[in-house]
Structures are given as structure tokens and as C-alpha cells.
Amino acid sequence: MRRSRLTIRGTVQGVGFRPFLHRLAGRNGVTGFVVNDHQGVTCEVQGSDDRVIDFIRRVRDEAPSQARIDRFDVAALEPLDGETDFVITSSRPAAEVRLTVPADIAPCPDCLTELDDPDDRRFAYPFICCTDCGPRYTVVSALPYERERTSMAPFHLCGLCRDEFGDPADRRFHAQAICCPNCGPHLRFEHLVDAPSDVVTGVAALDAAVASLVAGRVVAVKGVGGYQLMCRADDHEVVTRLRTRKVRVDKPFALLAPSIDIAEQLVDLDPAGRAAMVDAAAPIVIAPRRPEAPVAADVAPLHSTLGVMLPSTPLHHLLAHRLHEAVGAVAVCTSGNRSDEPMVVADGLVRPELAGVADVVLSNNRRIERRADDSVGQVVAGRYRILRRARGFAPRSIKLGGDGPTVLAVGAELKNTVGLAIGDDAVLSVHIGDLEQPAALEAFEVTIADLLELVGGSVDLVVHDRHPEYLSTKFALAADLAPTLASQHHHAHLASCLVDNEHDGPAIGVTFDGLGWGTDRALWGGEFLIGDAAGFERVAHLASVPMPDGTAALREPWRMAVHHLRAAGIDVPAVGWLTAASTTSVPSGSTGLTTTSMGRLFDAIGALCGVAGGDVARHEGQAAAQLEQLAETVDLAGTAPNDPNGRAYPVEITSPDTAGPSIIEVSGLLAAVVDELHSGVGPAVVARRFHHWVADVIVATCELLGGDDQRNVALTGGVFQNRLLTELAEAQLTAAGFRVLLHRRVPANDGGIALGQLAIARALAGAKPPSTMES
């Protein structure tokens, strides 16, 4: 007779792990128990040697699809007398906390079959779920994950649901969010703008919402992690109305398709894109738009791509299918907010925040415990890569590669996320947004408080960006939670990419973004670093240019074209968004702020090419994104000038006589761009050649820096959201013999900064006294 204790850590709560062990114990004929605790799952099992050994093997090999086992320890125990069964016991606390809240999971095939079956008791019930699917992160209020610690606690199980919950043979055995029309949440439909009308509930509410979509109204829908705004995507008038009301001038809207087959009528999906779209996380997948896609032009103006997702909840499944069945249309599905603000979560804020944006609202009486917007990504270099990490992915932990102090990372200013290092896990929040928006700053503070409450303890260290004016930095310094560490922005980008790729380093970090506070108090952003989480050396960067007008140049990218041209000694031409008056309206001089930013160089070239957003940027990164779109419209095969190195524009790298970083000159690039635009070369060709020039710069600089010793290159920073550039650089670096590290699980943009901050804090925590720590 053998008895063993299994201590299992990872994502093992809320994914059907205890019911799985119970069923497995029954098949193997062993006794014992399983229990949730704050660290994960503990199981004791007893039986003959061969049955216990087989049970342990099958736990490893057959775990639920949504589970992730990070640690699996087995210890021998003395057998017990009188044990006759294997049971699931009440959860218990643990001395050491581990944050293992699972992410929300899209409806599984079995639940969808029941949802669409008129003879099933859960037919068309929008809160159907089982152990394999349903809400997790957005309904849990405390750990361990049990119904009484979720927003399902007020809904007491009816007899039929109680039987399913207690039946080991049922797939809803111990499904914490189980419910049905008799005992679960219900829908509520009402008007926001029109004259008040009677409230409609239940099935009638769903019918009213679908009718409103068909009629061309904007519907605010309470999703799993917040309110969303939906309308017909084929109706130009309602899409334009939504864009105006939301104050979203030209950023694309996401689309909700009822099935993968319908999605493929909208966009071209390669195998990686298709796999991402049908994944249980149900993210938005950005892919090339099909010319015949039945979608209004104003859904994604000036873009050749569309962002499409499949239903992430049973309610979205019902709405998407019924709309398509009624009129053959898919739905716009975008965050329930005004532009740049966090999505509305609280029911009480719907009328004050969304009246005037939505016409009607479809809500429900289940509380949302925490906000979670839709995740977004695209396929780059053959793999789906996240651009915004939220519902379905957060708060899945990422391994840091070792234990250490508990650390809170407060992230950056834009695209903020926060994170917690606890044990070997980095737990990142969902996407919060730009902290300059008061509502986003409030959400930032609430999210930090929520993270700390979930782990039930304080932190040993708080890590923040070096930029003194970031609101996240100011929070960290004022909150007095723990000693603080200042991390350099681009070092955090590099460290984030290394952790994302499970690479300890060192590596060459090509860190291109809009801006970040440098160690010399300049605005960096076109950097080549060599280092790892413990430290870095700045070994090359773009030539520095004055930026005396500061944030005005961020709002009006044409100003960066003037600054770059002046620095290169080139007369400002009347091309693109530049005019004769451009020179006189932009301050000059070499004092004040300077920048080495690649993002700002994209702005300059975009302004010269006359792209949308090159005059006035309506959102962050608009000119760069439009330059990529323009470049995608041409193929340069056979059109480049005769250059022995095959480069459309000259790459010039100067090395200092004394120790210091190499400088990537841009004057030759700018002269060539202006000359070609003056001679009639189309802006699209110039945009394409510029992308090739940036890729050539990356390869040439890495060859200069790497030698035979350093052949690992991390491409990181917001500029590498650019699919065209990333694929050009990745292909050329690979051909040159480098190993290329690209982000996958966290964004290359500032949404990945918190992960890098955690890695830096862990690497430095044991090396320096807390009061002097900085990177």
C-alpha cells in the first residue's frame, strides 16, 4: 500500500482541476482527497503501488487543457486506515501566498451545443458555463477560487444545478460559476436616450437587444469584464454615429463574428491567425481585410486590416449569431467608454457615462469584480503576438526564473499595466490605459489595491520608471508602500523581451519607441543596448536632434520633420505636411530637450510623405501606423536604386574616437527622402524604402556590435508593433546568423514594461541596498 502527497502549483484553480482528479481517482481505484489552497492544489492519494504510480503519471499527462502546471512535487506518506473514498474537501488557507487566479475562458463546444439546443434547459441562457469554460478572473473576489468568493455567491443553486455540481460524472462537477435560468443571473434591457420605457428582462431582453442592433441602434452590452458598445458593422450611418459619439476619430473598431467561417469572409487568416482566433482566450486578431468584406469603410478608415474576434461569452455568441441570421451582418464590438478612457464597469455609471453614446443598454445582475478589456494581437513572423494583454490572457503568470522578494511594478505612463512578482511568478494586470486620463489613473490605483488584496500581504519593493513626470512614478514615490527602485525605460523593454523568451541574456536590445527618460536626461528611443535584467550598456543610438517644443511635437508630428531637417542642414521643403511657414512656426535652438527616438523619426518621415496624422496626431503613434499602411501598398522588387549593398537609402554609422556609443546618422537618409519626393517618387515607395532602411540599420548595427560573441538580438519597444518592419528585420537578422527574440506573451509596447521592471528588480534586489537602487 502506498500513500503520496501531490503539491501542484500553477494555474490549477478555476480550470476543473479538482473534478479532474476526482474522476481520475475513481478510474484508478484510489482513495484520498484534493483541496484548493492559496498556493494551488494539494492532493493525497492512497492505493496499491501500481495504481498510485499510474495516477501520478496521468495527472501530469492528462491535466485539463486550461491548466498550467508550474511545479509538481510528490512526497511519500504513511498509509491511513479506514479511508474508503476520494473526496474534494473545503479550501484552506496557506502560510505562503501564490497568486493563481485563472483567466476568463470562452464558451466550450459542449456549452455552445446546449446553448443552441431548444430542448436543453439552458437553451439561449447567456450565463451557461462548466468546468472547462466561463468567467474566472472577472468574477473572483478572493482566493482560493470558490463560489462563495465570487460574484456568483448571491445566486443560490437550484436542485438541478446542485445535483450537477455534486455529480462526479457531470462536466459541471464543482464548476464554481454553474447556474441556469432558474437560479442564475438574468438580462435587463432598457433605453438610455429615448423616452423612458418599461424594463425588459430575460429572453425578451435578448430579443430587444438584437432588434435594436438590426434597426441600426448602438447597444451598450455588459460583457464579462465591462461594458461594450455594439452596432451593425455594415451600416455606415450607425458606425459613423458611434465614432462621433465616442469621439474616436479614426482608430479602427473591432468586429465580432459569429463563427470562424464568417470571420474568414472578413479577413485573410493564416494558420497562426486562425489558431489564435479559435483559442479559448478569444482575442481580437488583426489581419488583412478581404476586399469583398461586407463592412462599412468607417469601421477601419485608412487601414488595410481589420481586427476580428469570436464570441468570448455565451451572450456574445447569441447576439452575434442572431444578428447575422437576421440581416447577414457582423457587429462592431468596442470598449464601452469615450475615447482613451477605461471601459465602464459599474452598472451605476452606465447612464452618466454612456447616455449619448449608446441608445439602449443590455445589462445583467451579476457583478463584475474587475475590469478586463479584449486582448488584441496580430501574426508576425509566423506567430500570434500580443499587442494588448487583457481578457483571456491576464492574469496568467509568466515565470521569472527564480524566487525572490515580492515586488510591485507600476509600469509606464502610456498603455499602462502593473505587475506583481511573487515567488517565481510575474502576475501582470490587464491593460489599464494611458494614465493622463483621470479615469485611467483611478483604475490604475484600484488595480494596484486589488493585486495587493488578492495576495493578502505587503510588498518588499516597488519599481517604477526613471521619468520623474510619469504619474506611475509619482504614485510609487508617494505611496510609501516599500523601498523604491527606479528602472530605465529601455532597459525595462529589453528585460521584458528576455523574460518573454525565457532567455537570461545578455543580448543586443534593439529598443525603438516614442520616448523614454534616458540616464543623460535626454529622451531616448532609438537605442541599441547590450545587457540583461541586471544591467545594460548603451552601445549605439540614433543621432540626437533638438526637440525644443516638447509635447507639441508629439501632437503635431510635422514639427519633428522640421527638427530633423534643420539638424541635417537641409532646407525645409514644401512636401507632405510641410509648407513655407513651417520653418517660422517651429522654435529652433539646441538648448532644452533632445531626442534619439526612432518613433519620432517615423513621425518625421510620415509628415514628409503626407500621411494621415502627420499634421495633427489624433492618437499616439498614428503617423507611424499610417506610414506602415502606406508602405504595405507597394512592392520594391526591382525598384531600388543601384546600390552595391542593396540598400535604398544610405546607412551611416559613426564610431566615436573615445569610449561611447556609436551614432546612427540620419542626414543621408533625410537628404535622399527629400530628393526623391522632389523628383516625383511616390510617397508609398519612399515609405517602403524607409522601412527597408530601418531594417538595414538594425542589421548593420548588430553586425558592428555583436561580432562572434553576441548573436542574440531582442527587438522591443512600441516601434516593433509595426509588422512590416519587424518581419523585415527578423528575416535579415536571421539570414545574418543572429537569433532573434520577439515578444509573444506581452506587448513590445509599454504594456510590457511592468514585466521588465519586475525582472530588473529581482536581478538587482540582492545586489544593492534598497535606498540606492536604480537601473
Q: Which of 216-230, 511-525, 605-619 has the lowest mean pLDDT?
A: 605-619
Place 196 in a pLDDT band, splitting at 50, 70 and 90.
low
Say how far apart CA 101 and CA 367 lie, in whole Å.
Answer: 17
pLDDT of residue 141: 87
Q: Read out DSSP for 273-318?
A: HHHHHTSTT--EEEEEBPTT----GGGSTT-SEEEEE--SSHHHHH
Region 721-748: mean pLDDT is: 97
User: Quick one: cell of 562?
Assistant: 522640421
Say how far apart CA 422 and CA 403 lie, in whole Å.
Answer: 8
Region 429-442: mean pLDDT is: 92
Place 92 in a pLDDT band, splitting at 50, 70 and 90.
low
pLDDT of residue 262: 98
Q: Which amino acid is at 757?
A: Q
pLDDT of residue 589: 65
pLDDT in tens, 668-680: 999 999 999 999 9
Rounded to two decimals, the pTM is 0.90
pLDDT of residue 752: 98
Place 637 in a pLDDT band, splitting at 50, 70 and 90.
low
- Nearest Cα to 416, choosing from 398, 400, 399, 428? 428
Residue 645 has pLDDT above 70, yes or no: no
Region 684-697: mean pLDDT is: 96
Place 144 in a pLDDT band, splitting at 50, 70 and 90.
confident
Return the sign of the alpha-carbon dihedral for residues 621, 625, 630, 635: positive
Place 340 in a pLDDT band, splitting at 50, 70 and 90.
confident
| Burial 33-50, CB ≥16 within 10 A → b, else e | bbbbbbbbbbbbbbbeee
Place 407 in a pLDDT band, splitting at 50, 70 and 90.
very high
Residue 597 has pLDDT above 50, yes or no: yes
Percent of the chain whose pLDDT exceeds 70: 94
Could you tell me which residues are beta bridge partners of residue 88? 34
Q: Are the beta carbons of 628 and 725 closer than 8 angstroms?
A: yes
pLDDT of residue 771: 44
Which residue do the cell numbers 493578502 mark? 456
DSSP class of residue 572?
P
C-alpha distances (whole Å) from 23 to each of 20, 28, 88, 368 are: 5, 9, 11, 32
- Peptide bond before 144: cis, by omega within 30 degrees of 0? yes
Which residue do the cell numbers 515607395 mark? 685
Of 51 and 145, the structure prediction assigns the larger pLDDT to 51
> Distance from first CA to last CA of the chain, Å, rounded?
56
Q: Are the beta carbons of 441 and 435 closer than 8 angstroms?
A: yes
pLDDT of residue 590: 57
Residue 735 has pLDDT above 50, yes or no: yes
C-alpha distances (whole Å) from 147 to each of 22, 90, 139, 365 are: 18, 11, 9, 16
Residue 539 backbone phi and psi in degrees, to 5: -110, -15
